[in-house]
Structure formats: structure tokens, C-alpha cells
Amino acid sequence: MFFRQYELGCLSLYSYMVGDETTGRAVVVDPQRDVEQYLSDASSNGLRIERVIETHFHADFVSGHLELARATGAVISYGPGAEADFPIEVLAAGQRVALGEVELEIRHTPGHTPESVSVVIWERPGDPWGVLTGDTLFIGDVGRPDLFASAGMSAEELARSLFRSLHSQLLTLPDSTRVFPAHGAGSACGRAMSSAPSSTIGEQRRTNYALRPMSEDDFVAAVTRHQPVAPAYFGFAADTNRHRHDLLPEHVEGVALTVDQVVDHLSAGGAVIDGRSPQAFASGSLRGSINVPLDGRFAEYAGDVVRPGQPIALVTDPGREAEARTRLSRIGFDTVIGHLPDIERALAENPGLAARADRIAALDLAEWATDHDVQLVDVRNPAETEAGSIAGASVVPLARLLEGLSGLDGERPTVVFCASGHRSSVAASTLRAQGFSQVADVLGGFEAWVAAGLPVTAPS
């Protein structure tokens, strides 16, 4: 058997290639959109990628099934009930896909979505070698059942399906069966995932909170509460994965834009994403740009504050323009028109277009807020605010910031904070780009506030 796990850390994504070295036949499961690594590994190991199996219609990234099908002619497969407007082969519950001596067994495991499947890997007769659990079972967690709720099924209905899938399809596997999930720590597809890339059924039975002995009703309560707010682009990505769409170009030439072109782009309703660090952005940026640092969950946060289809111009540290474009393409944001090179020089030559970002220390905020009519905005997720917030702060999670603008006053001095100061720079720059007149964010975020011994209250 050939088996390889691929990790895409910036989206907390795991994908897989499983092959039979005696026949050269291989399958890729849940591929990311840029597929060169699968093609390279198949070629160097004498394998032919014959099939792409999607464990479900993903919401957190645009998958590479169409790109792999273009490159290899692979069949695209989903689980029972899946419908798409491109050719797919629906795999039946219990169906075995033989690659030679290696076989893949399809287990229908609805709950995260109705069509979700898990893929059991059999290398030889006896116990199964492992199982690819998609978004049904994670290391330390299970798939959230609320993302599909807007499509006609309630979170409770999906949670009940998930309970049955776990107990009738996955926990019936031997304890020695290796578990390989589709996501790890940091993904918004669950709330308590481990950073471990794999586990076993037995270990998860002992340690996973959602697999402890409990009634179905208790399980539903446990997995439907305190889920993080879904990133704003999730609905767009899920819909994109169901439909034909433009394929990722095999080669893209970066387009260098002039300052005048970027200013015209902003005036026409486009977005400028500045991928530099919050510190560099604060020292000088193009007025109207949004700071989404590349060294972080760049695509996810960009998908929170830029609308799907909105044209995008990029500002990055030198040489990182292609990286930014690729990472945006992984969530289906393909509307990058180009990049502004040498931002420091551009601002020096056009000082009237330059802006500085205000960042305030926690102690200074405590003193300043007592004498000013400050609008405090907490952009953490609801579960993060359970330990408290700053008195008077409104909780507007980053993923809901654009839709929550009408509830904020753009004329009042506004201070934004998150947990540690990363998301707050994204949020504060978004508010400035939306016309808010005076916005600052808190250095070190709520953690700095608590460390300074300042008072904490229940969030509003």
C-alpha cells in the first residue's frame, strides 16, 4: 500500500493519497485546489490517480476535484445523495473500491452533511488498516452539525444523524484502526480539535468528549452549543464545490499595478488586501486597505471581510504576491487583479494616500475610555467571551463584522479587540475601509487587558 497524508496548515486541512503499488492505481481524498503535489507524488511512485473521493461538499475550502480530473481524467465520487452539475459517480454505502490488494470501503456517515462518508482502508484480509473520517470524526472532536442547517435540515436533525453515524459506522471498527481526519486544530469545522494528525478508534473512544457514554439527547446538546461562528465565505465555498467553476490556472503571471490604478480600483468598489504584519501595516499603509496578515489564517480572515466576487488588489512583503494569490484561490477568491509593488516607495511618493493605524495599549485604553465616548467592539467568537469581556463592549465576531456594520456608529471613536491582537487589526482596518472615522485596536488584545489586572465583565 502507498499512503500519504498532506497537511495544509493555513486552512488546517488534511488530504490523502492511497494507492496499490502492485497495480499502480491510486485515489486522492479531499484534495486542496492546487494539486501539483499529488501529481508529483503519483508520478514519482509509479501511480495513476484514477479517482477523487470527496468525503462531503466542503465549506471551508474549494476542493481540487475538478483540477485533478482535468490533469488525470480521474472519476469524481461523492457519497449517497450527493448532487452536482458536473459528472460524478455516487458511491453506495458499503461499496468497496478495489485498487488491487488495497481496497477502500465506503461507510455513509451523515451528520456534518447529509452526503458525508468515511473511507475504510483495507490492506489485507483481517482488521482494517485505517479510516479516513472526513468531517465526521476529528481527533478530539466531531464535525459540527450546524453548517448545513440553512439548507433545509436543522442542526438538531443533523446532530442526531451524526450520533448514529459515529456509533453504528465508526465505533464498530476495531480499536486498533487508525483515524485520519480531514481537519486539525484551528479549523472552524469543529471547536476542540487536536493538533495531532492521527489517532486510533480506541484512543478516541477513551479521550474524545463527544464519544463518551451519553444519550443521544445529551450528545445533541453537547455538539450544538458553543460552536464558533462560521467564516463568512463558507456558504460561497460550499456552493462553488457543487458547481462547475473556472479551474485554477496552471500558470499565472503576476500583474504589477500603479498607485493610480489601485486608487481607481478602490473607487470602483474593489478591495485592497495588505498582507504585511500588523506592525508594518500600522506604520504606513494605503488609505482604504485592509490588513490581513499572510503569517496567519490569511484566506479565512480575508473571506470574512472581503465579499465573494469583489475584485482584489494585493500589497505584500516583496516576493509574496504569488503566495497570497494562491491562498485566496484555495477558498475560491479568484478575482485578484494584481499587486502594488514596493508599498513603502509608493507611499513616500504619494504621502496624501498614506494612512497610519492607531494601536492602543490596554492600560491606556482603560484610562482613555473613562473620559471619552468610546465604542468598544469585541471581535472574538462567542465561546471565547464566556470568560468575560470589557465593560460596554459589543460582541461582533469577525466573521459577522460586515453584516453587523449597521449596528455600529461610524462617527464614534471605536476601539476593537480580539484575543491577542491579530484579528483586531483585520477588523479595525475593515472598519476604516468602510468609512469609520476614528478606529484603534488593542495591542495584545483581551489577553493583555487581563494580564494588566483590569476589570472583566459579562459580554453584551
Please give the positions annotated as active site.
418
Here the cell at position 229 is 461562528
Question: According to the 3-state scheme, what is the secondary structure of 188-221?
Answer: CCCCCCCCCCCEEHHHHHHHCHHHCCCCHHHHHH
Name the packing angle between helices 216-224 and 155-165 (round to 10°). Answer: 120
CB of 116 closer than 8 Å to CB of 143: yes
Distance from CA of residue 296 to its chain's centroid? 11
**Which residues partner with 17 through β-bridges?**
4, 28
Cβ atoms < 10 Å from Cβ of 412 = 14
Q: Which DSSP category does 109 fall into?
A: -
**Contact (CB, 8 A) for 255 and 330:** no
Backbone phi, psi, residue 186, to 5°: 105, -20
Residue in 236, 387, 395 with CA at minimum distance from that of residue 300: 236
Least Cα distance to 335 among 352, 315, 314, 311 occurs for: 311
Residue 335 CA to residue 333 CA, distance in Å, equals: 6
Sort 289 into a burial class: Cβ within 10 Å, 0-12 / 13-18 / 19+. buried
What are the grid coordinates assigned to 403, written together?
453584516
Among 335, 309, 198, 243, CA closest to 57: 243
Amino acid at 169: Q
Q: What is the 3-state secondary structure (H, E, C) of 117-129?
A: EEEEEECCCCCCC
- Decide if 246 contacts 334 (C-beta within 8 A): yes
Cell of 432: 476604516
- How far apart, in Å, do the first and last CA atoms of the chain sit? 55
d(CA 32, CA 116): 17
